[in-house]
Structure 1
Amino acid sequence: MFVPDIVGRVGPKYKVLADVFEEAVIRGELKPNTKLPSQRILSYQLGVTVGTITRAYQELERRGVTVPVVGSGTYVKDKVKTQEEYYHPIASRGGMDLCLCRPLILGQQKRLSESLEALVSEPNAQRAVLDYFISDGLQGHSTTLQTWLNERWQWDLDASRLLWTYGGQHALSVVLQALTRSGDSILLEGLCYGELINTCAQQERKAVPVAMDEEGLIPDDLALQCQRHRPRLLYLTPSIQNPTGVRLSDSRRLKIIEICRRFDVLIIEDDVMYCQPDERCSPLVSIAPDITLYIGSFSKYFAGGVRVGYMVLPSTLQPAMKQALRTSCMHVSPLLLDLVCRWLSNGAMEQVEEEIARELKARYRIFYKMFPTHKRLAVSGFNVWLYLPENCDSRTFKNELAETGVFVRDAYFFRVGSYPVPNAIRLSLTGPVSRDELKTGLQFIKDKIAAWRRL
């Protein structure tokens, strides 16, 4: 039994006792889940009242050192377990999640720790990031993003065309709010980011599908839908399409820009999906900056919890977009922006991108080994579009997998309106936490496909 030594200590006895117990825990003398002596026995050993021991134990609980268990006693808190419980998702279905499209947490924790430590020693920065601003934000943040984008794309971009957002999804919502009204038609790729489809429905915008093939959006159908619906906006993901992974061909990029100019349609270029450094191509906004709203995000390039994105806008749209942003959230948290800008400035963003790229290449090797006949992708992002046997509906297949604890996205999730649904599922290779978990999930899928082919 641990008996604290309080000889020579000054101050209220209950606080002295609490200090000695806490020091023993810090030194490791009292291990997690160790039961403290009963109050009555300890009061006898130390020659103090039971009330003093009671107050000491209450003080330890207040400090987070111990936890009382009814009918059992007081125990040293297992802080690791407590943290795991505290930070556990409220909604967690377990199993192997190949739905979740996210960057894996590799070296980001180290970069976060370093940036927070730097911020601790900068009182001017602390004061600034805790203040209240309008949508313009802080000069240094805007300049940092401007410099980074100019270096990344070899642009000569003016900072007045930039706007921070809370990630790509928030940017899309702000664009719809600023530039369209209830009942307006918006052209979307026939298979499209599912949450944008939901956003259109919630804001009472009419989502109109445009046909796609293996080269991306089909220009002839785009022209036809422009004639029929006179849309205000066209949304597309030209660099790496979600969910199919197709890249829009160069010839089609020029045709699409020409059609949008002809029908006075603005282009929303969603470029938030991760694309490996050696596979990047110039965005549409570099070709048609006057009609293109470019959306980027660090949620797919650094960490999902970093809900920070940005827009590159035609200058004429800046006032309307700022007003919509103020209506939406007033301004993006300067604390989040400061962390992102530190990572942009000190090279952490590029280092993490390289770490993600290495891990992703390893996961593609696992996938192609498991599915050797699958067509090699020209652009290898987080997701793979996998076609199923003709007799197997993707929704049925998804539900059967879910019963075994493996979760994927079926094609219906990405369907715009009544667009024809291909018999395919989307797998996120970065959803599983480990490569072994990915192998297990892919094996389940491979076995399930084989079973359907035998029917």
Structure 2
Amino acid sequence: MFIPDISGRSGPKYLALADAFAEAIESSELKAQTKLPPQRILSYRLGVTVGTVTRAYQELEHRGLVSPKVGSGTYVKDRQSETRTFYHPVSSKHGIDLAICRPLLINQQQHLSRTLQDLSLEPIAQRAVLDYCSAEGLQGHNQTLQHWLGQRFNSDIDSRRLLWTYGGQHGLSVLIQALTRPKETILVEGLCYPEFLHSCQQSERKLVPIRLDEQGIIPEDLELHCQRHKPRLLYLTPAIQNPTGVCLSDSRRLRVIEICRRHQVLIIEDDVLYCPPAHRRTPLVAIAPDITLFVGSFSKYFSGGLRVGYLIMPLSLSLPMQKSLRASCMHVSPLMIDLVCRWLTNGAMDAVDQEIDTELKARHRILQQIFSGAGQGAVPGFNVWLPLPEPLSGQPLSRQLQQEEVHVREAEMFAVDHYPVPAAIRISLTGPTSRSQLKTGLEIIQAHIESASEQSL
């Protein structure tokens, strides 16, 4: 009998219980036609009222995940219905995906449903979001983003410095095309976000790695390469370094800004990865707005399918940014932006932020149970950088794990040019859709590491 774990979940208990069952169903931990526990037994086992269980089962039925049978109980619906087949990905990984970095879908579907209902009653808004608009966007959308960012960064930001994008990756491409030309040099962290590397390679930009330590990029190495290569841009992930999870220290932030300003280097501050509220710091763009281009996105903070992001840029660069945006997509869908703005103003974005933070803490507790001390010194975000003992290295271990349908990202994927590759893998704690699936994947990784260590003795 499946008894879900609702410890550490925020909100009403019936919703926490429904969410736990939903995760188990979505991950196929609970198969089609499985009977849910009798309500009285479940209420006793979890220490909640029967009414709480009843409401949870009604919520699951409302979501279309279960169906009651009179005199028999409540059963998981058949997952192979026509609707689910229609929306099934063309290609998907089998097994436990600890490679993909994504926010878990908790209550986002309910927010989407309510917001679409609200929009359906507003004909003026409907017409506006269905029409063409300029690259600058719609006035109300920009004012909403300006107000939200002003509160988030405790800084007054001119709305003319803002530009909507199709997520963070699109924002990075817009910046590369607007500010550099083929063969020009971009400085990057020695271990770097792979898709940024691919984007630069596709557009024939030269990448030069800067050395990293436990505080982020090393200023002395940055100074050396600024003198040697005369770069136009420096690409950074200062809030949570991807893949190591290190946060650029305050002293390093000021030193990096000083070096870049002196050498006339613009800073791309990639702040796309989810950062827990307790670990958020003042971004570089609030300290040095004249040389910083900030890339933000709601994909990791709300849902991966949203694909809405934004740029904060020096006002002097607004025209080339708009030209680059128009060249890539003309303008970002005002319909998608309108949904985001409604969530920013009605509290949905903040609510999901807290829900993600709560679930993330629970998943880090599971990590510590299996890998005590893992991620020490890093920001406890979606990803964990796991150094490997000798004789293991990232790529061979990744291939071994794939044979058991456990997917991770090896250090080799992040190394720039000839930068030394550490023996490590990156694990995404939010890739699995359930906690039990995460625990199973981590235990498989632990078993492989222990086996390799024993063989080396």
What TM-score range do you get, normalising by the shorter chain? 0.7 to 0.9
Q: Distance in 1 between matches of 2:187 and 2:211?
A: 10
Residues 302 and 352 in structure 2, CA contact (< 8 A), matched pair in contact too: yes
Query: What residue number does 1:208 align with?
Result: 208
Which letter maps to 2:241?
Answer: Q
Query: CA 1:381–1:443 in structure 2 vs 1: closer, same or farther (change >3 Å)?
Result: same
Tell me the residue number matched to 1:397. Answer: 397
Which residue is 1:34 aligned to? none
* Alpha carbons 2:271, 2:295 under 8 Å: kept: yes
Question: Could you tell me how far 1:273 is from its partner in structure 2?
Answer: 0.5
Is the 2:101–2:383 Cα contact (8 Å) retained in structure 1?
A: yes
2:414 counterpart of 1:414 = yes
Partner of 2:238: 238
In the aligned structure 2, how far is the partner of 1:385 from the partner of 1:131?
45
Letter matched to residue 245 of structure 2 = G
CA apart distance, 1:332: 0.2
**Which amino acid is 1:291 matched to?**
I
1:333-372 → structure 2 map (5 Å cutoff): 333-372=333-372
Structure 1 residues 272 and 209 mapped into 2: Cα distance closer, same or farther (>3 Å)?
Answer: same
Give the letter for the 1:307 counterpart: R
1:125 aligns with 2:119: no
TM-aligned CA deviation for residue 375 of structure 1: 4.9
The aligned amino acid for 1:273 is L
Q: Distance in 1 between matches of 2:111 and 2:132?
A: 26
Moved over 4 A (4+): none
Deviation at 1:376, TM superposition (A): 2.8
- 8 Å CA contact 2:244–2:378 kept in 1: the answer is no
Cα offset, 1:79, TM superposition: 9.7
In structure 1, the partner of 2:113 is 113
Secondary structure (helix, strand or coil) at the match of 2:349 reads: helix
Q: Under a length normalisation based on structure 1, what TM-score does the superposition of the two structures give?
A: 0.82
Superposed displacement of residue 367, structure 1: 0.2
In structure 2, the CA distance between the partners of 1:79 and 1:401, relative to structure 1 (3 Å rule), is closer
- 1:103 is aligned to 103
Q: CA deviation at 1:80?
A: 6.6
Give the match's secondary structure for 1:147.
helix
Aligned pairs, how many? Answer: 378
Distance 1:422 1:452 in 2: 17
**Larger-Rg structure:** 1
In 2, the alpha carbon distance for the partners of 1:374 and 1:427 equals 11
Cα deviation for residue 241 of structure 1 reads 0.5
Question: What corresponds to 1:332 in structure 2?
Answer: 332
After superposition, the C-alpha distances for 1:222-280 in whole angstroms (9 at most, x for unaligned) are 01111111110000011110000000011111111111011110000000110111110
Q: CA–CA distance in 2 between the matches of 1:80 and 1:419?
A: 47
CA distance in 2, matches of 1:169, 1:306: 13
Report the residue type matching 1:393 in the other structure: S
Q: TM-score, normalised by structure 2?
A: 0.82
2:138, 2:334 within 8 Å by CA — same for their partners in 1? yes
- Deviation of 1:134 (Å): 1.6
Partner of residue 285, structure 2: 285
Structure 1 counterpart of 2:62: none
**How big is each residue's C-alpha offset from its partner over 1:181-211, in whole Å with a ceiling of 9 and x where there is no partner?**
0000000000000000000100000011000
Determine the C-alpha separation between the residues in 1 that align with 2:438 and 2:296: 28
Aligned to 2:91: 91
Q: Which residue of 2 aligns with 1:66?
A: none
Report SS of the residue matched to 1:446: helix
**2:439, 2:117 → 1: CA distance?**
38
Shift of 1:153: 1.2
1:378 is displaced (CA, Å) by 4.3
The CA distance in 2 between the partners of 1:249 and 1:393, in whole Å, is: 28
- 1:253 and 2:253 matched: yes
Equivalence map 1:44-443=2 (5 Å): 81-443=81-443
**Contact 2:187–2:209 (8 Å) recurs in 1:** yes
* Contact 2:409–2:425 (CA under 8 A) maintained in structure 1: yes
Offset at 1:133? 1.2
Rounded Cα–Cα distance in structure 2 between residues aligned with 1:268 and 1:251:
18
What letter corresponds to residue 332 of structure 2 in structure 1?
Answer: V
SS for the counterpart of 2:197 is: helix
Secondary structure of 1:141 counterpart: helix
Distance 2:195 2:201 in 1: 10
Which secondary structure state, in structure 2, belongs to the residue aligned with residue 343 of structure 1? helix
Secondary structure, aligned partner of 1:242:
coil
Secondary structure of residue in 1 paired with 2:188: strand
Moved more, 82-91 or 213-222: 82-91
Q: Structure 1, residues 5-33: CA drift from partner, whole Å, max 9, x if none?
A: xxxxxxxxxxxxxxxxxxxxxxxxxxxxx
Equivalent residues of 2:375, 2:385 under 8 A apart: no
- Once the two structures are superposed, residues 71-92 of structure 1 have per-residue CA deviations (whole angstroms, 9 ceiling, x without a partner) of xxxxxxx897111111111111
Distance 1:281 1:404, change over 3 A: same
Gaps of 5+ in 2: 1-77
Residue-by-residue CA offset, 1:388-409 (whole Å, 9 max, x unaligned): 1121121000000011100000
- Is the contact made by 2:276 and 2:380 (CA closer than 8 Å) also made in structure 1? yes
Structure 1 gaps of 5+ residues are: 1-77
What amino acid maps onto 2:317 in structure 1? L
For residues 314 and 373 of structure 2, the distance between their equivalents in structure 1, rounded to whole angstroms, comes to 44
Q: Quick one: which amino acid aligns to residue 439 of structure 1? A: K
Matched to 1:211, the amino acid is: R
How far 1:123 moved relative to its partner? 0.4
Letter in 2 for 1:237: T
Percent identical across equivalent pairs?
Answer: 59
Equivalent residue letter for 1:168: G
SS in 1 for 2:81: helix
CA deviations over 1:113-170 (Å, ceiling 9, x no partner):
0100000000001001000112011111000000000011111111010000000000
Q: Is the 8 A contact 2:188 2:208 kept in 1?
A: yes
8 A Cα contact 2:186 2:208, kept in partner? yes
Whole-angstrom distance in 1 between the partners of 2:185 and 2:415: 16
What letter matches 2:132 in structure 1?
Answer: Y
